[in-house]
Amino acid sequence: MSLNKVILIGNVGKDPDIRYFDNNVAVANFPLATSERGYTLANGTVVPERTEWHNIVVYRERVQFVEKWVKKGSSLYVEGKIRSRSYEDAAGIKRYVTEIYADRIEFFNSGGRSDNATTSTQTAQTTQPAQQPVQQPVTQQPPTTSIQQPASPASPSLDTNGADDDLPF
């Protein structure tokens, strides 16, 4: 048995790049930053904060949600799979990239996940208003969108230790 599942909570590093292909398929890409709080060891050694950047890839109906609501600085909960690939750059050098293919994306507030985030049967359809990101005006609330594949298991319980970490934005 094997499992390829990634769960990330972090901040979007730049506005998503949305591309449309000839066959009407859309793809969105954006970086997501996750941070581990720095700390001091018992012997006085300081371990600095560490920020990891993840390349998020979004396809199909999820792209509409990303295009409309996700912006630089948005706090997101992302579930997906890790995929690695290689390509040759313009100079002919082989490059490797690791990406997270998102199956589920939700807005995340530092107090916890959105109200209906524990429902495992939701689809890409909009169900009810959610917490708004900080940069959105009060009158414009994004819909709560829980996007996942139908065969996904029930949502995990989250350990929110460090949920109020200082993020690099």
- Supply the pLDDT for residue 167: 53
Q: CA-CA distance, 57 to 18, in Å (whole number)? A: 10
Strand partners, 99: 55, 83
Q: Kindly give the confidence (pLDDT) of every residue in the chain, 169 residues in length, as a single tens digit, with 9 standing for 90 and above.
A: 999 999 999 999 999 999 998 888 999 999 999 999 999 999 999 999 999 999 999 998 899 999 999 999 999 999 999 999 999 999 999 999 999 999 999 999 865 444 333 323 233 333 333 444 444 444 444 544 454 444 444 444 444 444 455 555 5
CATH of the domain at 21: 2.40.50.140
- Supply the pLDDT for residue 168: 59
Count the domains in the chain: 1
- Supply the pLDDT for residue 84: 97
Range of the domain at 69: 1-169
| Residues 73/11, Cβ–Cβ less than 8 Å | yes
The half-sphere exposure of 41 on its side-chain side, counting CA atoms within 13 A, is 5
- Supply the pLDDT for residue 153: 42
- Supply the pLDDT for residue 164: 52
Residue type, position 157, single letter: S
- Report the candidate in 13, 15, 5 with the shortest Cα–Cα distance to residue 35: 13
Please state the length of the chain: 169
